[in-house]
């Protein structure tokens, strides 16, 4: 990753533009009626209280990393850039593959983004906006040129499927954007990131951690399953959405009248309606697709953004807002001046090089696994070990395509 020192003093300021976007959801759809077959609920309650009709659920072969990878590949395709051009990969998630290695590192490897740094970001449903802000700040300082920010979740894996208060709300999916440095004014204009850890017990997923490993977890929650105080989170969300959008609009130096679209975290249709009332704006300014996906946590904003762009709701030069809220408690708003054309002419050569990069990444991972196994097998045999070490160094050196 290039360092901040690469930037020339007095150089033209960089803006961080969103130049690519992509999404991925599992094939399997679970309707409200499907849910009603195993938990005490019904389609009418879920639709009227939340607006959700159905959600996508990951199969056994799918995970946060596989969904995130697909969304990332779609975003790279859309931006027509190569994995090797990426300087940074951030995955915002509450359902990572592991505590470490990060899901971002797994995706970085599977893309063949061999020149990128990678890390996961934990800010629950606000995570995507936090991640875009981190990446855009790195771009604006000149420290990096190109970043991939992914919001990816498999919420179905942390649901208590007997708890009707939570299991009807969530779904699985991933969305991603590519950010790139540019000298034209636009892209990410402002961001407001906030947290109130005083509300930590209102929603969460207790998992292995510093408290649990000392045997101190005794708050009635189930390990690895999500819990939520819905009505308190509802009140919190309706309060912070309007407030933080107004702050971000102010910071961006624009007025509410200039906002053409708001892409909110997709938690509940009634929360969005309440925010529209608070801001005294037309609710149709908000993008909603939670009827088809439910709450996909950190993935919900990039998925909604993707669909908004694909259906022509986002136009060049227009201002839009992203607003997220969730566990922590955390919340975040951001103003973006959209600067990407509807579609980018893709070059055949770059498309082929991207495919080659993915294939090479798979082969490199397989070769590394094999060489480690052989190494273990021949443990004590020093000459064989040296030859294998040389082979491994050669594999590691394949980072250009």
Cβ-contact 22, 176 below 8 angstroms: yes
Q: For residues 258 and 212, what is the distance between their CA atoms, to the nearest angstrom?
A: 48
- Per-residue binding string, ligand ACO, 276-315, x by CB under 6 A, is -------------------x-x------------------
Catalytic annotation, pick one of 17, 78, 125, 268: 125
Q: For residues 1 and 17, what is the distance between their CA atoms, to the nearest angstrom?
A: 19
Annotation marks residue 265 as catalytic: yes
235 binds ligand ACO (CB under 6 A): no
Q: Helices 230-252 and 269-279: crossing angle, nearest 10°?
A: 40
Nearest to 23 by CA among 76, 77, 57, 74: 74
Nearer to ligand ACO (CB atom), residue 14 or residue 128: 128
CB of 298 to ligand ACO, least distance (A): 8
Cβ-contact 87, 145 below 8 angstroms: yes
Where does this chain touch ligand ACO (CB under 6 A) — which range of 22-30, 61-69, 105-113, 161-169? 161-169
Q: For residues 67 and 154, what is the distance between their CA atoms, to the nearest angstrom?
A: 9
Residue with tokens 């799918």: 62
Nearer to ligand ACO (CB atom), residue 19 or residue 125: 125
CB of 258 to ligand ACO, least distance (A): 27
Nearer to ligand ACO (CB atom), residue 190 or residue 330: 330
268 binds ligand ACO (CB under 6 A): yes
CB of 130 to ligand ACO, least distance (A): 13
Q: For residues 281 and 335, what is the distance between their CA atoms, to the nearest angstrom?
A: 17
Q: Given candidates 131, 142, 173, 326, which one binds ligand ACO under the rule CB under 6 A?
A: 326
Q: Given candidates 82, 103, 327, 388, which one binds ligand ACO under the rule CB under 6 A?
A: 327
Q: For residues 38 and 115, what is the distance between their CA atoms, to the nearest angstrom?
A: 47
Nearer to ligand ACO (CB atom), residue 125 or residue 360: 125
Cβ-contact 125, 298 below 8 angstroms: yes
237 binds ligand ACO (CB under 6 A): yes
Classify strands 54-56 and 172-182 as parallel, antiparallel or unpaired: unpaired
Any idea what DSSP says for residue 257?
Answer: G
- Per-residue binding string, ligand ACO, 28-57, x by CB under 6 A, is -------------x---xx--xx-------
98 binds ligand ACO (CB under 6 A): no
Distance of CA 179 to the CA centre of its chain: 13
Q: Which two tokens stand for residue 54?
A: 């159905």
Q: Given candidates 119, 234, 358, 378, which one binds ligand ACO under the rule CB under 6 A?
A: 234
Nearer to ligand ACO (CB atom), residue 6 or residue 165: 165
Position closest to ligand ACO via CB: 326
Where does this chain touch ligand ACO (CB under 6 A) — which range of 210-218, 253-261, 267-275, 338-346? 267-275
Nearest to 362 by CA among 370, 374, 350: 370
Any idea what DSSP says for residue 184?
Answer: S
Nearest to 240 by CA among 263, 271, 285: 271
Catalytic annotation, pick one of 56, 227, 265, 319: 265
The residue count for binding ligand ACO (CB under 6 A) is 24
Quick one: CA dihedral 287, 292, 297, 298, positive or negative? negative
Catalytic annotation, pick one of 32, 268, 295, 306: 295
Where does this chain touch ligand ACO (CB under 6 A) — which range of 14-22, 59-67, 76-84, 227-235? 227-235
Q: Which two tokens stand for residue 92?
A: 């915002």
Q: Which residues are catalytic, by number?
A: 125, 265, 295
Applying CB under 6 A, which residues contact ligand ACO?
A: 41, 45-46, 49-50, 94, 124-125, 164-165, 168, 203, 230-231, 233-234, 237, 267-268, 271, 295, 297, 326-327
């Amino acid at each position: 990753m290039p360092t901040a020192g690469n930037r020339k003093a007095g150089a033209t300021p960089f803006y961080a533009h969103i130049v690519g976007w992509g999404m991925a959801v599992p094939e399997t759809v679970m309707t409200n009626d499907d849910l009603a077959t195993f938990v005490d609920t019904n389609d009418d309650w879920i639709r009227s209280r939340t607006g959700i009709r159905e959600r996508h659920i990951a199969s056994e072969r799918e995970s946060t990393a596989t969904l995130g990878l697909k969304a990332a590949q779609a975003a790279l395709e859309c931006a027509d850039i190569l994995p090797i051009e990426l300087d940074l990969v951030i995955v915002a998630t509450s359902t990572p593959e592991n505590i470490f290695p990060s899901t971002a590192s797994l995706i970085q490897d599977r893309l063949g983004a061999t020149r990128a740094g990678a890390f996961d970001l934990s800010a629950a449903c606000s995570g995507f906006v936090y991640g875009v802000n981190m990446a855009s700040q790195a771009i604006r300082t000149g420290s990096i040129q190109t970043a991939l920010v992914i919001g990816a979740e498999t919420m179905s894996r942390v649901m208590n499927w007997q708890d009707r208060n939570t299991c009807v709300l969530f779904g699985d999916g991933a969305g991603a954007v590519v950010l790139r440095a540019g000298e034209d004014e636009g892209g990410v204009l402002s961001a407001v990131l906030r947290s109130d850890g005083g509300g930590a017990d209102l929603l969460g997923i207790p998992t292995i951690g510093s408290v649990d490993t000392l045997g101190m977890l005794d708050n009635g929650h189930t390990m690895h399953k999500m819990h939520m105080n819905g009505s308190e989170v509802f009140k919190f969300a309706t309060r912070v959405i309007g407030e933080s959008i107004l702050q971000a609009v102010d910071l961006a130096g624009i007025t509410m009248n200039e906002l053409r679209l708001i892409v909110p975290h997709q938690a509940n249709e009634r929360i969005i309606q309440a925010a529209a009332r608070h801001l005294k704006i037309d609710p149709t300014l908000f993008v909603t697709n939670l009827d088809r996906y439910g709450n996909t946590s950190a993935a919900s904003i990039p998925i909604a953004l993707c669909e908004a762009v694909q259906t022509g709701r986002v136009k060049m030069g227009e201002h839009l807002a992203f607003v997220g809220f969730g566990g922590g408690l955390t919340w975040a708003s951001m103003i973006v001046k959209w600067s990407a054309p509807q579609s980018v002419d893709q070059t055949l050569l770059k498309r082929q090089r991207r495919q080659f990069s993915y294939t090479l990444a798979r082969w490199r991972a397989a070769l590394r696994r094999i060489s480690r196994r052989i190494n273990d097998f021949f443990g004590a045999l020093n000459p064989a070990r040296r030859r294998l070490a040389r082979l491994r160094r050669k594999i590691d050196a394949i980072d250009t395509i």
